[in-house]
Amino acid sequence: MPTDRKPEFFKGSQLKVAIIGCGYVGLPLALRFAEAGHKVTGFDTDPEKVRVLNAGKSYIEHIQQTKIQQYVNSRYFSATTDFSKLKDADAILICVPTPLNEYREPDLSYVEETAKSIYPHLQKGQLVVLESTTYPGTTEELVLPILEKSGLRCPIVASSENDNVPFDFFLAFSPEREDPGNKQFGLAQIPKVVGGVNPASGRAAVSLYAQVVAKVIPVSSTKAAEMAKLLENIFRCVNIALVNELKLLCLRMGVDVWEVIEAASSKPFGFMPFYPGPGLGGHCIPVDPFYLSWKAREYDFSTRFIELAGEINTAMPYHVVDSIADALNQQKKSLKGSKLLILGVAYKKDVDDLRESPTLKIMEILKRRGADFDYNDPYFPQLHKMRHYDYSHMKSVPLTADALSKYDAVLIATDHSSYDFGAIVDASKLVVDTRNATRRVIRHREKIVPC
């Protein structure tokens, strides 16, 4: 018997919301729903994360511990590893990683395993929403067939068609738009794109998210919502690749690319500034273009523009290492056997986020070329084993004038606000700057190598 629950049910107060994946995306979302008065359960396979959350503590720098404590104490939020409790939820939101494998192909194992964890406990009338960034078609082609192993049905119906089709549960896609460390735009202020596999599912998801964000943007299908997310991040990827390539040309021509960008930014229309760096980092921008280019091959379509941008950005860590080698060469020193200090391992300033950080690739290349290096990052006192890298033996070294003076070169990989770049330049023999962090340093310009 199809569910009698209507999409408008999800406009109700004190819903039971399950969020699978308590990381940089899932945890802020969980707290926002708790703030709106809903009973939230965070699901995670990591028992330590669950223990920390239930103790009212935070393991993510920019998420306040007091907020977690508040909702744990009021019983609006709790965490568990027990997926059988999904049966009690009204809505189930999937916020798990979608990385690339070693061949730069989509790795949807986390999404697949999560769907397999849901279907034995799926109930009539539940709303399931995938938030993880992925290629167009994932919700319909991967998630839906797994959920329907439960014996429940959610037919795919175009928004232009009659939606009086019986169904047992709702299914939608709504891409996350989390920007860790962004103090101007929090989750509540960022519009939410929503697409359902059928009109009823779309309306159910709109009803739910309208309670926690300022604006919801409904689209005609899950594929449209999935593609919208990819467009957002590919737009950034392509434009960053453009300025990275222009930076290489400007370096060769003796032109300051940062000055050029600032001048171009004075145009009040038709221009948006993007900035070069040591490579792309974060959970989306370095990954998402490859999701679309991979899927495009299924349609015998070559995404040449996207793939070129990916090539340029992927090459930037190699350019950084070459720049260090050239700078050392000017000092009559070899990269092999040199002692280097890397400032910043986070993928961007002022966040405790290592995902796809270009610094990790730079470290790998430096090691391969025989350099010896340490790192300093106030957000990472010690590194841990990651998907593709293992620097778990390394700890952040103290940043003192005496310590800086002992390195052959200092690489500014991440421009954390806590760094005193004037003092760093004063104490260092050589500074290779990938972020234009030393632009206001007047003294010892001869020590600074732009990169």
SS3 content of the chain, % helix, strand, coil (to 5): 40, 15, 45
Angle at 358 between CA 356 and CA 359, to 5 degrees: 115
Give the per-residue pLDDT at 105.
85
Give the per-residue pLDDT at 75.
93
pLDDT tens, 317-347? 999 999 999 999 999 999 999 999 999 999 9
Other beta carbons less than 10 A from residue 355's beta carbon: 21
Measure the CA–CA gap between 196 and 205, rounded to whole angstroms: 7
Residue 183: band (very low, low, confident or very high) from pLDDT cuts 50, 70, 90 = confident
Mean pLDDT throughout 101-109? 86
Measure the CA–CA gap between 400 and 385, rounded to whole angstroms: 27
- The overall longest dimension of the chain from CA atoms, in Å, is 79
Measure the CA–CA gap between 390 and 3, rounded to whole angstroms: 49
Q: Tell me if 428 sits within 8 A of 449, measured CB to CB.
A: no
pLDDT(1) > 50 = no
Ordered structural domains, the chain, with CATH? 7-220 (3.40.50.720), 237-450 (3.40.50.720)
Give the per-residue pLDDT at 162.
63
pTM, two decimals, is 0.90
Q: What percent of the chain has pLDDT over 90?
A: 85
pLDDT(2) > 60 = no
Measure the CA–CA gap between 429 and 425, rounded to whole angstroms: 8
How many Cα atoms within 13 Å fall on the side-chain side of residue 262?
A: 7
Task: Name the residues annotated as catalytic.
Answer: 284
Give the per-residue pLDDT at 161.
65
Q: What percent of the chain has pLDDT over 70?
A: 98
